[in-house]
Structure 1
Amino acid sequence: MSERDAQGATDIEGIMNLLPHRYPLLLIDRVLDFQPHEHLASIKNVTINEPFFVGHFPQKPVMPGVLILESLAQACGMLAFKSVQDTLTDNDVLYLVGIDKARFKRPVQPGDQLRHDVSVRRVTRGIWIFEARGSVDGELAAECEIRCTVRTV
């Protein structure tokens, strides 16, 4: 399978080429749509095999809110990195610098497909500010504002 198709989609290999995360913390399975410097849509297929379900919660598995936010932050990272990938070096890393206005609207459970829709609000002095929304079957699960910056390590 190729990294990209005509709509700007990216498969797992393309994601792993841009994000440093690996199992069990790689929380994006596919990029569905991408508009440089504007918008990215991606998905996380949530399965009962996720390691966090062992303890959260054994009798009623629910994806931890902090991991929903992390998956949204990774989608923001993909949007930023894909937007500027021609100028990146192997030593560039996107750091999360803040999450504001986080709200959770519904639980995310095994069998759900968590869709990430992230948009660039602005880039100021090297800080990318994103609006991020996660949904399941069209129903809002979480939303927040995410701030990130690219740094060379």
Structure 2
Amino acid sequence: MPTLDINEICKILPHRYPFLLVDRILEVDDESIVGIKNVTANEPFFQGHFPDFPVMPGVLIIEAMAQTAGIQVLRSIPDRDKKLVFLVSVDGARFRRPVVPGDQLRFEMRVIKRKGSVAKMAGKAYVDGKVVAEAEVMCKLEDKVDPNAAPAAVVVEAAPAVQAE
């Protein structure tokens, strides 16, 4: 099973600092993926969450799980530079214990269902072998839209005039 370093991850995901939340992929195949996030005291979210007791926000743990899932979805697509993966739903999110500076998060995600451009994956996040969070995420593959492209022409037909009686 191949591993991916941060440079290879950046070729797959469009996210960048401070919102790229996966540092390495340890394992990936057609049905599962394992990723790592090294949580440091320098994370920008610790400035406000919480200054005297830094805790990684749970929503960012879920985002990191979704980014890991996105790598699994995008990695084998030949024209992935023309695609984006969007998080469309989160189910059953549970947070078991806090994640603090110095922790290494391990994300283990597996495909539950795949249909067309949609993939549903279940996953858990671990620190030192203990579950810190779990959730099911649904991701949807979409074509990238060029923000500089001219908008498509829209034809609007006027409604027929109503005559007063």
TM-score normalised over the length of structure 1:
0.91
Q: What is the alpha-carbon distance in structure 2 between the residues aligned to residue 69 and residue 10 of structure 1?
A: 20
Within-5 A mapping of 1:32-71: 32-36=26-30, 38-71=31-64
- The structure with more radius of gyration: 2
The corresponding residue for 2:98 is 107
2:13 matches 1:19:
yes
Within-5 A mapping of 1:4-153: 7-36=1-30, 38-82=31-75, 84-86=76-78, 88-153=79-144
Q: What is the alpha-carbon distance in structure 1 between the residues aligned to residue 130 and residue 18 of structure 2?
A: 26
Q: What is the alpha-carbon distance in structure 1 between the residues aligned to residue 24 and residue 80 of structure 2?
A: 23
- Cα deviation for residue 124 of structure 1 reads 2.0
| CA deviation profile, 1:80-122 (whole Å, cap 9, x unmatched) | 111x322x24221001110010000010000000000000111
Q: SS of the residue aligned with 1:90?
A: helix
The corresponding residue for 1:4 is none
* AA partner of residue 121 (structure 1): I
Say how many residue pairs are matched: 144
Structure 1 unaligned spans of 5+ = 1-6
- Cα deviation for residue 25 of structure 1 reads 0.2
Q: SS of the residue aligned with 2:109?
A: strand
* AA partner of residue 18 (structure 1): I
Retained in 1: the 8 A contact 2:12–2:80? no
Q: What is the alpha-carbon distance in structure 1 between the residues aligned to residue 139 and residue 80 of structure 2?
A: 17
Structure 2 unaligned spans of 5+ = 145-165
Q: SS of the residue aligned with 1:110?
A: coil
- Cα deviation for residue 43 of structure 1 reads 0.3
Q: What is the alpha-carbon distance in structure 1 between the residues aligned to residue 115 and residue 77 of structure 2?
A: 18
- Cα deviation for residue 125 of structure 1 reads 3.7
* AA partner of residue 130 (structure 1): M
| CA deviation profile, 1:47-77 (whole Å, cap 9, x unmatched) | 0000000000011100000100000000000
Q: SS of the residue aligned with 1:79?
A: helix
